[in-house]
Structure 1
């Protein structure tokens, strides 16, 4: 029996059926000529593009070939499962429902220890910060603030949304616009107009809608 036939027999024995082992694809022989690796098409459900890989060792010309290993390996066009993604990178807006808990991460770059908080963001003077603490273990980092600002500004409540483009005036001049505290005060606020589609939402100062307090016919 040739080593090719031996390799195919080993693949069939491992597969349990000759129908699951297809045509031979290739063979690789090491420099010493003692190890040969055969590849066969794998006709396995759910394993499109995978191959049977059979490794045979030949100690010397007097010894019988020995089966070292039989495995199934992905080929260049194999169907593979997607890479595992950590839960915190999979969560999308709206995924967190009633009773759901999203464990906090200590290495979240959006957060820093509260000692790094800006006094202006906490609306406390230096003495109060020292005496009272901030009441929070962590606060948002500069990176976290930048991410939030970019996300809000590019959203439907930024200046580029259709409703903002057709608004008579920007939110910054509206009586219902409530600036938020802290370092983002100059750029964002909360709408407090009950008839506005943005009511209770964060909007940029240059956003706008038709329910502006000073809109006139």
Structure 2
């Protein structure tokens, strides 16, 4: 149990409470003997608030201000190591009746605390969004830019016809489209996921995806490098793959293996041994 300062100064002797509780604002405020003696009143208030009988030993008393102080009790609740019940009490001038102002369970030194809250936009990572989840609209998404701008007003039939071709026929009717940086990032991400020439399937394939009949090319910038595999027998069915990717389900499986003119397997030439032939 914490001991009261024998000189009557503000604060308590118990270091676990003293180091984590704000000091009184006025150094001249002396301890209130009536409030300091109201330990059992404070304990009963903490027990009533707790409701699970987890109020432990009395840790000490702190004078918060004139006729205002707080009693501290350890908590025995599992999972609340280092926490303590704080009961603030007060009284009016020249009165011996103590009133409980507030009861709270607060952390002390070494208390187990939840990590600092991080906004969802900072903690959400690719792959966290499920099939039925929905992200909020982000008007300032740096990965997107304006998709189109009309070249004339609706009163100009020629301008409207030109807009119709550019917007509808060419597929530019979207309000926003990916920036070039977002497209490059996607291309690099797909290559890093094993959809390029470095995958085991691509190295074993006789031909790349570019010559496969089951490849449906993408449009725009990414269409110069990637397509979608629609071969149900391919391990990449339904996935975006690079033109130089490949697998054993290539549509032209009878094509010769890419490489030089050496037979398969190629002969091993040892250039470090000298063979002496008699004349």
TM range (shorter): 0.5 to 0.7
RMSD in angstroms over aligned alpha carbons?
4.2
> Do the aligned residues in 2 keep the contact of 1:36 with 1:56 (CA within 8 Å)?
yes
Aligned pair 1:21/2:58, yes or no? no
Greater share of strand: 1
- Structure-2 separation of matches of 1:171 and 1:93: 33
What is aligned with 2:89?
56
What is aligned with 1:8?
43
> Do the aligned residues in 1 keep the contact of 2:148 with 2:174 (CA within 8 Å)?
no
| 1:101/1:155 CA distance change after superposition, 3 Å | same
TM-score by length of 2: 0.52
Q: Aligned ranges for residues 53-132 of structure 1 at < 5 Å?
A: 53-57=86-90, 64-74=97-107, 76-78=110-112, 80=114, 83=117, 86=120, 89=124, 92=127, 95-96=130-131, 100=132, 102=134, 105-107=137-139, 109=141, 110-115=143-148, 130-132=163-165
What is aligned with 2:212?
175
Unaligned residue ranges in structure 2 (runs of 5+): 1-33, 150-159, 258-263, 265-279
Bigger relative CO (Cα 8 Å, ≥ 6 apart): 1
| 1:206/1:85 CA distance change after superposition, 3 Å | farther
Q: Aligned ranges for residues 130-141 of structure 1 at < 5 Å?
A: 130-132=163-165, 133=167, 134-141=172-179
What is aligned with 1:155?
193
Unaligned residue ranges in structure 1 (runs of 5+): 117-126
- Structure-2 separation of matches of 1:146 and 1:61: 77
- Structure-2 separation of matches of 1:51 and 1:160: 59
Aligned pair 1:200/2:238, yes or no? yes
| 1:78/1:6 CA distance change after superposition, 3 Å | same
- Structure-2 separation of matches of 1:160 and 1:59: 81
The number of residues matched between the two structures is 200
In our comparison, the structure showing a higher alpha carbon Rg is 2
